[in-house]
Amino acid sequence: MKDKRIDHAGAAAAFIADAPHLAFHDERLWDMRQKRDAQMHLLPEWQELRTLASQIKEHALANLPEYLEQFEENATRNGIRVHWARDGAEHNRIVAEILQARGATTLIKSKSMVTEECDMRPYLAARGITVTETDLGERIQQLDDQLPSHIVVPAVHKLTGDVARVFATHYGTDPKADDPRQLAEAQRQAARPVILHADAGMTGANFAVAETGTFVVCTNEGNADLSATVPGVHIATLGIERLVPRLSDLGVFVRLLSRSALGSPITQYTTHFRGPQDGGEMHVILVDNGRSARLGMADFWTSLKCIRCGACMNTCPVYRRSGGLSYGAVYSGPIGAIIDPTFNERKYSTLPFASTLNGSCTNVCPVRINIHDQLYKWRRVLVDHHQMPFVKREIMHMAGKLMGQPRLYRAAISGTETALGTLPRFALYNWLNPWGRHRELPHPVKETFHAWYRRNRSAPGAADTEKTKTDPTKTGRTKDTGQ
Amino acid sequence: MKVGLFVPCYIDAFYPRVGIATLELLERLGQQVDYPLGQTCCGQPMANSGCNSDAAAAEALFVRNFERFDAIVMPSGSCAHHVRDHFDAIPQTDAVRHVRTHTYELVEFLHDVLQVGDFPWAEFPHTVGLHNSCGTLRALRTASMSELGEPPFSKPMGLLSKVRGIRFATPARPDECCGFGGTFSVAEEAVSARMGLDKVRDHHDAGAEYIVSADSSCIMHQQGCAERAGIPLRFIHIAEILNGARE
Ligand code: SF4
């Protein structure tokens, strides 16, 4: 069966209908964008840093096989066990094998988008392994059985009241106690024992350094450090594009990451993992899951530069008003809209159209991904691959024809001829109908500019080769155009 | 200099006064302006929807209409952006290249090419909020962009500040997209209209009586949103103010 297309527009409409959530979501994320701007203004070298970051990533991606092997070699020397996963299934199997070999049934983990991509939790659950998210937002989303709606603040679409309800259901707390401090405390109380008794821990990684065979995890809650160190078995899952060549490159990325993400100079914790603890184990799983294929896409490979800061989401006026869940994908917002179709073209074919192509995302991206250009290019690819709904496709086709024929076009817009005979009128009008749902239509005018020009400046136009018919009903007026 | 005037389809049909103001203004400034009668559209709606091959006929027609001009001027940032930056549904002949490199959005043309120093006929004793469309702002770059933290500049503001009596209101989110986005305005009706509503509220809260823009498509959308919500704002194209509109 074919996958259904994500109805982003419908989900967004539902999100917008809920005024308090919409207002909070928009303001919270806009505030993050404002804080990011403030940090940018403090660093005169901001644009240079973006350029450097972009160049380093492009270099690393262009030489990825070498850097991956270098990383593997150095990490192995550090005592890290390196695994390679071609896709999500392989990744999940590797994790399960590591855990099962040690009789582990409880896994605590910090935020990792890759494990969401691989849909790891259900896979492990089916094998009797309980996964507990330790990041507050991620845990809320786990309890509520939802995807993260944002890659940095996974539960940003929820109000404190929503969190109180989720906790009441799962932790038995008072559903009316929505004080954020109390809620955080409830989570702490619930999470502590789980963390202390977990059999294994899992983290993602923000950066992996080829020359040292080490990796870096940036968090604000310190939960990654607990997840990594308390159980003694640490599995880190990372996409192969996390590689940077040198340790010194981090000087560029760490400066950009949190400033772009939250508008704070640095995350509370920036932990360098260099190898297993005494008597412990450390595993790194390098996950491809479509990345090699993406690397081969001439127009889209630079999306792999992404450092998952979420700045493009925070600034996106569409994302702020539609909520991350409306994208129906692990990755939402502008970055999601350009990488999701690489996972499933049909299912995510609507996402590159969920944009006005305003370009703000491209401007904030710390690694200079041309996000809005890629959105534009994806539209072409999707149309070429027959992923545009028939009616819309047909309307564009007919419109294109009409625009190439001035006489038909004139006749059509002056309404004097049924040039629209060839157009599926009902389809056109049904499709245009939504305009009026929350907006007034433009005011009718007495004559077009074209008609005005013919009456008032006839001479130069007469030299024109493409003749149009005069409209006999439109005479005797000069500047009165009805506005 | 022979100037070809392109009046985009929605201005032709819904805002003829903007076409008239553009023409009269260019004439006042001593330009020899011709409006080829066989024009239709630049191809943007099709191309922006991904249907690039369907933009070919419109693009070819556009070139036939405008290749003979030294400058092609249009009161629309998004159309100028399309012609200059995307116009690739047809083979890139010398004529196509000429058209693409000689296309100007009106503000650019006045500011950069004609370098107009003043508009002695223009007076607009009102408080206006300037809306820079994303096409003019982030593609044509006629003003500084907040995301980049670059030194502030604004070509439209530079021109408007020469108008007697005009006052400016600054919205809280001056660079935020208004949500028109071409076919986005119907395909994503709810988000589009909400963005428009937020935009006009922002201008109204800042004290604007008018929203002025170099793009009538944004105006058409914002006006529709403001009227539906009963927000007492008026809308005007920059060409009208610079041409001495009195309201
Ligand atoms: S695409 Fe750029 S702005 Fe968006 S999350 Fe990735 S790095 Fe950040």
User: Could you tell me the distance, in angstroms and rounded to a whole number, from the CA of residue A264 to the centre of ligand 1?
Assistant: 16
- A218 and A83 together in one domain: yes
Q: Are residues A114 and A214 in the same domain?
A: yes
Interface test with A, best of B51, B202, B227 (most A CBs within 10 A): B51
- Structural domains of chain A, count: 3
* pLDDT at residue number A443: 84
Give the SS3 label for residue A283.
strand
Q: Is B61 on the interface with A (CB under 8 A)?
A: yes
Does A5 fall in a domain? yes
- Give the model's pLDDT for residue A423: 46
Q: Are B17 and A483 in contact (CB under 8 A)?
A: yes
**Which chain B residues are within 8 Å of A449, Cβ to Cβ?**
7, 11-12, 16, 18-20
What is the reported pLDDT for A474?
36
User: What is the rounded CA–CA span in Å between residue A192 and residue B6?
Assistant: 68
Q: Can you give the pLDDT at residue A471?
A: 40
Q: Does A271 lie in the same domain as A159? A: yes
Identify the helix (H) or strand (E) that includes residue B237: strand B234-237
Banded model confidence at residue B205, pLDDT cuts 50, 70, 90: very high
- Residue A473, in any domain of the structure: no
Contact present, A431 and A393 (Cβ < 8 Å): no
B92 touches A at CB < 8 Å: no
Q: Is B34 left (phi over 0), alpha (psi -120 to 50) or beta?
A: beta
A352 plus A427 within the same structural domain: no
pLDDT (tens, 9 = 90+) of chain A, 483 residues, equals 578 999 999 999 999 999 999 999 999 999 999 999 999 999 999 999 999 999 999 999 999 999 999 999 999 999 999 999 999 999 999 999 999 999 999 999 999 999 999 999 999 999 999 999 999 999 999 999 999 999 999 999 999 999 999 999 999 999 998 999 999 999 999 999 999 999 999 999 999 999 999 999 999 988 899 889 888 899 999 999 999 999 999 999 999 999 999 999 999 999 999 999 999 999 999 999 999 999 999 999 999 999 999 999 999 999 999 999 999 999 999 999 999 999 999 999 999 999 999 999 999 999 999 999 999 999 999 999 999 988 888 889 988 998 999 988 888 776 544 434 444 455 556 666 788 888 888 888 888 999 999 999 876 444 444 444 334 333 333 333 333
Q: How far apart are CA A66 and CA A460, in angstroms?
A: 66
Among A336, A364, A388, give the residue marking a domain's end: A388
Q: Domain check: are A31 and A65 in the same one?
A: no
| Residue A446, pLDDT score | 85
pLDDT score of A429: 60
Structural domain includes residue A294: no
Q: Which two tokens stand for residue A34?
A: 């404002």
With CB atoms and an 8 Å threshold, state whether B19 touches A449: yes
Q: What is the pLDDT of residue A418?
A: 43
Domain boundaries, chain B: 2-113, 127-242
| Residue B52 · residue B89 · CB < 8 Å | yes
Q: In this structure, how many other beta carbons lie within 10 angstroms of the beta carbon of residue A111?
A: 27
Q: Which residue has the tokens 């749902």?
A: A437
On whether residue A398 sits in a domain, the answer given is yes
d(CA A128, CA B93): 66
A365 lines ligand 1 (CB under 6 A): yes
What's the rounded mean pLDDT across residues B209-238?
Answer: 96
Strand-pair partners of B104: B73
Q: Inspect the interface and report whether the beta carbons of B36 and A464 lie closer than 8 Å.
A: yes
- Residue A467: its pLDDT value, please? 40
Residue A461: per-residue pLDDT: 45
Report if residue A476 sits inside a domain. no
Residues A164 and A91 in one domain: yes
Last residue of a domain, one of A289, A309, A325: A289
B38 in Cβ contact with B61 (< 8 Å): yes
Residue of B nearest to A48 (CA): B148
| Residue A377 and residue A431 in one domain | no
Give this prediction's pTM: 0.93
- The CATH number of residue A163's host domain is 3.40.50.10420
Percent of chain B at pLDDT > 70 equals 100
- CATH architecture of the domain covering B127-242: 3-Layer(aba) Sandwich (3.40)
Among B residues 218-247, those touching chain A with beta carbons less than 8 Å apart: 220-221, 223-225, 227-228
Domain that holds residue A418: 390-464
A397 and A382 in one domain?
Answer: no
The residue of B54, B82, B85, B131 whose CB has the most chain A CBs within 10 angstroms, and thus the best one to mutate to test that interface, is B54
Residues A136 and A11 reside in one and the same domain: no
Mean pLDDT of chain B: 96
State the DSSP code for A416: S
The minimum CA-CA distance between B191 and chain A, rounded to whole Å, is 6
Local confidence band at B240 (pLDDT 50, 70, 90 cut-offs): very high
Asked if residues A159 and A327 have their Cβ atoms less than 8 Å apart, the reply is no
> What residue spans of A174-277 are helical by DSSP H?
180-197, 223-229, 250-261
CB A249 within 8 A of CB A216: no
A166 lines ligand 1 (CB under 6 A): no
- Dihedral sign computed on CA atoms, order A434, A435, A439, A440: negative
What pLDDT was estimated at residue A387?
93
Per-residue DSSP letter, B214: S
